[in-house]
Amino acid sequence: MDTSTVQVFLVDDEPDVLEGLVWLLDSIKVPSRVFTSGEAFLRAVAHAHGPVCAVLDLRMPGMSGLELQKKLVDLGRDIPLFFLTAHGDVPAAVNAMQMGAVTFLQKPFNAQEFLDAINRILRQAADDYADRQRKAQFRQRLARLSAREIEILEAITKGFTSKEIARIYAISPKTVDVHRANVLRKMDVANAAELQRLVSDFGVPSGTKKAGP
């Protein structure tokens, strides 16, 4: 798991707080981008590529951290978050956790606690991005398959033998073997067990092309 490419976005309306967070991240060689408003942060996130995570102040003038979290959901940007909060905002921070935030810290916080939390969301951001990449690659490979090969793929993952598949689709076992070989090659797997693991992880989307009767 490589966390070196993860972008860390810091959002707080207090410049002194941002300066301190940047200094802490610099101490562990983690680059960051700072934003003093939610609007500026959202504009940057909309154009961000690669793995991203963010540290949000829970209460800010204009758009609050919770509102930012909801906006990210609306934009379809599922990125790991953690919140900085004042003592009286703990219930709101718990609510943010229920909506998917990784953690929250109360101000003033211990520097090591902050770095531990950052490391957690760095790892999650890297893992989430890797999963999305694997899913995109799976969808691309799936798109290479013909309608008949999709049916053969589904039959393979259900554990049917070539003879059983031949009977289901009224084709010869030799034809099934040709389709099976094409499916494994196009999906870039060595055997049926690897194919089953892929399909178990990502599934075949409903509405995927099917052969006609």
Residues 6+ apart with CB under 8 A from 66: 58, 92, 95, 96, 99
Indicate the DSSP class of residue 207: T
pLDDT score, position 208? 63
How far apart are the C-alpha atoms of 156 and 154, rounded to whole Å? Answer: 5
Indicate the DSSP class of residue 87: G
The residue whose two tokens read 């972008």 is 7
The predicted-structure confidence for 72-120, as pLDDT tens digits, reads as follows: 888 888 889 888 887 666 677 677 776 677 778 888 888 999 999 999 9
Closest listed residue to residue 11, CA positions, set 27, 22, 26: 22
The residue whose two tokens read 């067990």 is 193
Closest listed residue to residue 66, CA positions, set 52, 41, 78, 83: 83
Q: Which two tokens stand for residue 81?
A: 């978050």
pLDDT score, position 213? 44
Residues 6+ apart with CB under 8 A from 120: 82, 102, 103
Low-confidence ranges of the chain (pLDDT < 70): 1, 87-90, 93, 98-99, 206-213
In order of start, what are the domains of the chain with their CATH numbers?
7-134 (3.40.50.2300), 144-202 (1.10.10.10)
pLDDT score, position 67? 86
How far apart are the C-alpha atoms of 43 and 30, rounded to whole Å? Answer: 22
Q: Which two tokens stand for residue 71?
A: 């906006």
How far apart are the C-alpha atoms of 105 and 86, rounded to whole Å? Answer: 8
C-beta separation of 150 from 180 below 8 A: no
pLDDT score, position 77? 85
Q: What is the pTM of this model?
A: 0.78
The predicted-structure confidence for 52-62, as pLDDT tens digits, reads as follows: 999 998 888 88
Helices (H), the chain: 15-27, 38-46, 65-75, 90-98, 111-143, 147-157, 162-169, 173-186, 192-202
How far apart are the C-alpha atoms of 164 and 173, rounded to whole Å? Answer: 8
Stated as kind and residue range, the H or E segment containing 10 is strand 7-11
Q: Which two tokens stand for residue 183?
A: 């499916």
